[in-house]
Amino acid sequence: MTHTGVAESDTLRTKRLEQDGWIVFRFWNDDVIHDIDNVCQHIVISAGLAGPI
What's the domain range around 22? 6-46
Cα angle 35, 40, 42; round to 5: 100
pLDDT at 9: 87
**Domains in the chain: how many in total?**
1
pLDDT at 34: 98
> From residue 20, how far is each of 13, 14, 16, 41 by CA, in Å?
11, 10, 7, 24
Q: Is residue 37 part of a domain?
A: yes
pLDDT digits (tens, 9 = 90+) for 1-53: 556 667 888 899 999 999 999 999 999 999 999 999 999 999 999 999 987 76
pLDDT digits (tens, 9 = 90+) for 24-35: 999 999 999 999
pLDDT at 52: 73
Q: Is residue 31 part of a domain?
A: yes
pTM of the model: 0.69
Q: Is residue 16 part of a domain?
A: yes
Instruction: Return d(Cα 24, Cα 2) in angstroms, integer.
Output: 18
Q: Is residue 53 part of a domain?
A: no
Q: Is residue 52 part of a domain?
A: no
